[in-house]
Homo-oligomer: A and B are copies of this chain.
Amino acid sequence: MKKIVIKFGGTSVGSIEKIINAAKIVKERQLRGEQIIVVVSAMSGVTNDLIKKSKQISKNFSAPELDVLMSSGEQISCSLLAGALINLGVQARSWLGWQIPIYTNSNHVNAQIIEIKVDEITNFISKGGVAVIPGFQGVSGDNRITTLGRGGSDLSAVALAKFFKSDSCEIYTDVEGVLTTDPSINSEAKKIDKISYEEMLEMASLGAKVMQPISVQASMIGNIPINVRSAFSKNSGTIITSQNEIDYKNVVTGVSYSKNDAKVSLVGVVDKPGVAADIFEPLGQNNINIDMVIQNTSSDGKKTDITFTIKREDSNKALDLIEKNKDKLNYNKIIHDDKVAKVSIIGAGMIANPGVTHRMFRSLANEKINILAISTSEIKISVLVQENFTQKAVKILHKEFKLD
C-alpha cells in the first residue's frame, strides 16, 4: 500500500472553504487506497499577524515564547482540517509536534529536526486513519515548543516523508508547479514537469518563491522526490527529483532573477597579494555574504579595481566596514550601486553544452544590455544588469533557450 505525505500550504487552507477543499482532496486520495499523512501550514496571514502582535510587545520578543505563539497558527489549521475530514466520514486525527513527537534541537525560531517518532502514527494510518500534522513545529529535548523558521512547513513535510519512508511527498500550493520563470514579468512562463534538486535549489535561491532553498536541500539530502502541485486543479504539477531521473531535452530549465542585490566597486586598489582577503575578511566576519567578484588585471601592475555584489540590505554595513579600513585598503574611491538585478539561467543540461555562456552573453548584447558582473556554477550562469533591464533580459533569455 502506497504511503504518502501531503502538505497544504497557507493559501491552500486560507479559508474555511479551502480547508474543506483540502479535506476533499485527502479523502479522494484515501479512496485510492493510499496511506496518508497530511501536513498543514497556518492559514495564510495568520503567522504574520501573530508576529505582528509579538512586535507590538517587543522588537526583541522572547524566542521560546514566540515559538509557543507562532505554533498556534498551524495548530488551528491542523485541527480544522482534521475536523473537516472527520465530517467527511474519514477517520482522522491531529497530532501536534509534541504529541508525535517531532524532536528538534533547542534553537528556537530556527530549530532543526533531529528525530521523528513513527510508531503511533504508523499504526494509525496502517488501519486506514489519516494523520493530520501541523507543519513548522517541533518540540525540544527539554519539552518546549520549537519552530523551524520560514518555509518550515515544507521542511516538516520532507522530514516526515523521510522518517516515515513514504513513497512520495506532495506539496499542494496555489500555483500549478515550478515555472520556467516568473509569470508576472514574462507571460510565456511554462510549468516545468521535472526538475532536479540542484536546479530547484538554484531557482529557489535565485528568487523562485514556490519552495524555500532549505526545504529543497533537505529533500535533496534525503533523496525525497517532491511533487509541487495546485490544490485547485487536477494537474500533475512539477516533480523535483534527482538529476538521473530526468531526461534533459532543454539546455536551460528556467530563468530566474533577483532584485535584492547591490554592487560595490573599490577603484584604485593596490594590486598585491592579499588585498582581496583584506577587503572581504571583515565583511565575512560580519555575516555579509559576497556573491559575485570581479577583479581586473591592472594595466600597470600597480593599481586595480575590485567589484563585488552583496545583498542590498547589507549595503550600509558593508560600506561602513570598508571605510573604517580605508587606510589599510588604500583605495582611491568607492562606487556603490543599488539599482542592479541578477538574472540567471539554470539547467543541468548546460553541463554537456559548452556553448551556453556564449549564447547567453550574445543574446543580451544584441539587445544592448550591458553585463556588469558574472558568476557561474556547473548548472547556472548569473549576470548582473541594470535593474531597469530585468524584465527585458528575462524575456530574451527565456526565448533564446526555447522555454517560450
Question: Does A366 make an interface contact (CB < 8 A)?
Answer: no
Q: Does any Cβ of B come within 8 Å of A98's Cβ?
A: yes
> Nearest chain B CB to A79's CB is how many angstroms away?
4
Q: How far is the CB of A168 from chain B (nearest CB, A)?
A: 26
How far, in Å, is A358 (CB) from chain B's closest CB? 56
Checking B53, B61, B75, B82 against A87 with a beta-carbon cut-off of 8 angstroms, the contacting residue is B61
* Contact status A144-B99, CB under 8 Å: yes
A65 to B83, Cβ gap below 8 A?
Answer: yes
Closest residue of chain B to A54 (Cβ to Cβ) is B83
Binds B, one of A66-74, A196-204, A294-302, A307-315: A66-74
Q: Inside 8 A of A84's CB, which chain B residues have their CB? A: 57-58
Nearest chain B residue, comparing its CB with the CB of A72:
B72
One digit per residue, 1 when the CB lies within 8 angstroms of any chain B CB and 0 when it does not, for chain A 37-59 equals 00000000000001001101110
Which of A56, A66, A80 has the largest count of B CB atoms less than 10 A from its CB? A80
Interface residue? A148 (CB, 8 A): no
Q: Is A16 positioned at the interface, with any CB of B under 8 Å from its CB?
A: yes
A374 within 8 A of B: no
Within residues 55 to 110 of chain A, which ones have a CB less than 8 A from any CB in chain B?
A: 56-58, 60-62, 64-66, 68-69, 71-72, 75-76, 78-80, 82-84, 86-87, 93-94, 96, 98-99
With a CB–CB cut-off of 8 A, which chain B residues contact A145?
96
Closest-by-CB residue of B relative to A58 is B87
Residue among A50, A66, A69 with max Cβ neighbours from chain B (10 Å): A69
Q: For the complex, is A143 an interface residue (Cβ under 8 Å from B)?
A: yes
Interface flag for A113 (CB, 8 Å): no
Interface centre among A76, A83, A94 (most CB of B within 10 A): A83
A61 and B23 alpha carbons, distance in the complex (Å): 14
A300 to chain B, nearest CB (A): 58
Q: Is A19 positioned at the interface, with any CB of B under 8 Å from its CB?
A: yes
Nearest residue, chain B, Cβ from A56: B16
Given the known A-B contacts A53-B80, A99-B143, A143-B99, are A68 and B58 also in contact in the complex, defined by CB atoms under 8 Å? Answer: no
Copies in the complex: 2
Note all chain B residues with C-beta closer than 8 A to A65.
79-80, 82-83, 86, 93-94
A68 touching B86 by the CB < 8 A rule?
no
CB distance from A148 to the nearest CB of B (A): 17
A16 and B57 in contact, given A64-B93, A65-B82, A93-B65 (Cβ under 8 angstroms): yes
Contacts of A158 in B (CB 8 A): none
Q: Determine if A20 is an interface residue (Cβ-Cβ < 8 Å).
A: yes
The distance in angstroms between the C-alpha atoms of A61 and B86, with both chains bound, is 8
| Set of chain B residues within 8 Å of A69, measured between Cβ atoms | 75-76, 79-80, 83
Give the distance to chain B from A100, nearest Cβ to Cβ, in Å: 10
Min distance, Cβ A153 to any Cβ of chain B, angstroms: 16
Residue in contact with A83 in the complex, picked from B20, B61, B71, B98, CB distance below 8 Å: B61
Q: Sorted from nearest, which 5 A-B pairs have the closest CB atoms?
A: A68-B79, A69-B79, A58-B87, A72-B72, A65-B83
Can you list 26 A-B pairs, Cβ within 8 angstroms, ordered by A?
A19-B57, A54-B80, A54-B83, A57-B80, A57-B83, A57-B84, A57-B87, A58-B83, A58-B84, A58-B86, A62-B86, A65-B79, A65-B80, A65-B83, A65-B86, A65-B93, A66-B79, A66-B83, A68-B82, A69-B75, A69-B79, A69-B83, A72-B79, A75-B75, A98-B98, A99-B144
Supplied contacts A65-B80, A72-B72, 5 more A-B pairs, CB within 8 Å: A16-B53, A19-B57, A54-B83, A57-B87, A69-B83
